Each structure stands twice: as C-alpha cells, then as structure tokens.
Amino acid sequence: METGVYLLRGPGDVPNIRARFSQGRFYPETAPGRFSANPILCGCTGKTATTATPMVGDDRGAVCPRCGKTLPIVQTPADLRADEEQRERERAANLRLVFAGRTEDFGPVWRLSGRVGRSEWSKIRPLMRYLTRADEAGMDADDHDLGWVTPHPEEVERVLGITGDRTVAAQRAAREAARVAADQLREDLIREGETLCEQFHGRRFFADWSWDDYSQCAGDVVAESDHWQVREYLIDGQTVGVCLEAKDGNPVSPGDVIRGRWEW
C-alpha cells in the first residue's frame, strides 16, 4: 500500500476519518495536516490506550486483528490528490480580483478571491501589500484589516492570466450594464404605472395609511396592469378615491408614479 493520507469510513454515525498510513498502521489526523503518534485503536479489548488493540492496515482499510472490525478505505492518496487538483482547477477557473476598499496612500485596492500556488504568489508578491488599520495608509472606507491587497489589478491579472469576464474591467462593465438595465426597468415600470393611472384622471389618489389609521382601507381592485393595480380607497366605509399599489416583485414605489398627486 502507498504511504500517505487516506480517508476511512468512520464507525456508525462517526464522520469519515482522515488518517496517514505508514508501516502497516493508520494514524488519525488530529489537526489539519497533523497526525497522531498513536495508531487507530479498536475498543474490543479495552477502552484505554494500553488495553485497546491497535488496528492494522491493509487493502481493505484499518482492520482489528482481534475482532475483525474494519474501517473501510473511502479514498486513497491518489483519490485525494485528484480531488485537490480538481479544486485547484476550479479555483483557478474562478480566480478574480474583488474590490477591497480605498486607502489614503494607494487609492482603491483589490484582493484575490482565492488562494494561489507558491509559484504564482512569488510572481505577484511585489505587486501586493499587506494593509491593516495600524498602517499609515489609513483606510478611509473600511474599518477592518484589508490583508493582502493590490493597487495594481491589471498587472496582477496579466501575471495570473485572469481574462474574460473575470477581469476588474469586465466586472466594472457588468456592474454598469446592470445599473443601466435597472434604471431602464424602473423607467418602464413608472411609465406603465402612469398609463394605468391615466384612466383615473380627475380622481383623488390616496397613500394607503390603513396600516396606521383603521378608519381607512384599500378596497376592491378596479384596474390593473402587469406590475400595478389600482384599488378603491375608503374612509369610514365611504369611497373617497383610489390608491395605487405595486404588485409583488415590483421594486418601484407608487409615489414615484403619482408624485405630487397624493392625498394624505
């Protein structure tokens, strides 16, 4: 068997166990990357370190030589390496710089969205700075330590091969496009609401205060469009006008449609 780290199936409801196989024994992980000096034990002969039986390792997993209890191998070192390589590929595919804050000395700075390998880090290290609240750089937008950041995003992107929609420029363009689309949607919704309200020209529009004044209430729907509806508005049971309501999913306030025509 290959010497290295394995993943063993834990007994019962116990989570899977990471253990290092060496010289015929499995040694459990006690902290990330650290392994016990004592092998995995079976409690069939006792519950203490001196009375329990050390389990031996073979192609099946950790096996008790006394009772035959087995902790099967779930993943081999090769499996774990393949998983780590896949995670590294995914991290590399998603790696980008994200805005971290503004500094007095360096202006806007960005941080990496994930870890990079040692070789990549050695290439970008001259472009990075570690900033904390105690630095003379003096954060004026963040009240926390920024950590490793760069004021040179384009250069870091060039070194790391960050391209396409992952670049800072592309992210900035996407945010601007989203802002423009949101503004256009808002204008379209306001226009739709105004068109709906035109058929009530001359009617009094009321803001719905029924949540605060129980003498007032919104009545039946008398007209509607895709994103708006108009209801009768009653005070002390008498219809006094109408009120405009936004349907679910409509982010625009009725006040932006009615503007100065509200009755309070």
Domain ranges of the chain: 4-80, 95-166, 198-263
Helix (H, G, I), strand (E, B) or coil at 239: strand
Alpha helices in the chain (DSSP H): 77-94, 118-124, 153-160, 168-197, 255-258
pLDDT at position 260 is 64
- Write the DSSP symbol of residue 150: B
pTM summary value: 0.61
Helix (H, G, I), strand (E, B) or coil at 167: coil
pLDDT at position 264 is 46
DSSP bridge partners of 105: none
> For 17-41, b where at least 16 C-beta lie within 10 A, e where not — what string?
bbbbbeeebbbbeeeeeebeeebbb
In 3D space, the residue among 128, 124, 131, 165 whose CA is nearest the CA of residue 146 turns out to be 131
pLDDT at position 41 is 96
CA distance 185 to 243: 22
Q: Which residues of the chain have pLDDT under 70?
A: 133-144, 260-264
CA distance 165 to 99: 15
